[in-house]
A and B are shown apart, each in its own frame.
Chain A
């Protein structure tokens, strides 16, 4: 590890020692942060995978139903049937703080007019497949939103974990060894200077004694 380009002085030495102390503390904190984030992440990503599996499976069934509905109805009839939905989904969003990562929290606010069926069409002119498709769709929606929330959280956590890991590694394998090396270098240099001046003084003393004798 290369040493830093500094003057070997006592000032510099105490400055570097301070920096080393800060770096060590920062390293410890970041390492704790990383460990905790990975722990949280593991819980979430497992759940994420499970929900995605469920959603994908159910969505495929729902889409299949819808495909059937489309097949048995004429496109115009279908268009007409779904032109004015009776329901509206609004989201209430807020942010949650996980280890200083701001992740989304999504809450559903489904507004439907009271007493109105979720099917905004007359049953006479539409096929039963459409009804089935609609009901499966509305069953999946909450899960899809849950998936959205968790998946986003995982993405953001992964990003932050990567950043933190880089910082930890940079401190652990670059900054701290470099500081330690430089501190060692300065200490050695100062000691060497010390010894040099001491031997010089001893030599001078010897010379003076010789002259007096």
Chain B
């Protein structure tokens, strides 16, 4: 059986605890990076990371991009989204197709 982890600042992620997810409050990006490496070794199939933390530890996240598990997904925190998740989709499209076809129409 696999679990879901949530990593981010305490105030944003506390609510997920009630849904039965495992929450891991972190303050420092370095702490988060170590934590994610640890969670990846354990039975965590999905790890949600708040964008504020995710933008600091891109290297750690990129490491798990090519393996099926864990899926590390950026989510907005309680101060709103900084567009990192959308940016990563955009980068993804550019990587695969070569040009940005999804966001182009928006200007």
- Chain A residues in the interface with B (C-beta under 8 A): 38, 41, 45-46, 48-49, 52-53, 55-56, 59-60, 62-64, 66-67, 70, 78, 82, 85, 87-93, 95, 102-104, 106, 109-112, 118-120, 133-134, 137-138, 141, 144-145, 147-149, 151-152, 154-159, 161-162
Main secondary structure, interface of B, reads mixed
Determine if B60 is an interface residue (Cβ-Cβ < 8 Å).
no
Measured between C-beta atoms, what is the minimum distance from A147 to chain B in Å?
A: 6
Chain B interface, number of residues (Cβ within 8 angstroms): 38
Given contacts A45-B102, A56-B81, 7 further A-B contacts (CB under 8 A): A49-B86, A89-B3, A91-B4, A103-B68, A119-B18, A137-B15, A145-B4
CB contact between B89 and one of A49, A137, A144 (< 8 Å): that residue? A49
Determine if B95 is an interface residue (Cβ-Cβ < 8 Å).
yes
Measured between C-beta atoms, what is the minimum distance from B87 to chain A in Å?
A: 11
Q: Once the chains are docked, how many angstroms separate the CA of A37 from the CA of B78? A: 37
Determine if B46 is an interface residue (Cβ-Cβ < 8 Å).
yes
Residues of chain B contacted by A53 (CB below 8 angstroms)? 86
Q: What are 25 A-B interface contacts by the 8 Å CB criterion?
A: A38-B96, A45-B93, A52-B85, A52-B86, A59-B76, A60-B76, A60-B81, A63-B76, A70-B14, A90-B1, A91-B1, A91-B45, A103-B68, A104-B68, A106-B45, A118-B18, A137-B18, A144-B73, A147-B73, A148-B46, A152-B68, A152-B71, A158-B92, A158-B96, A159-B66
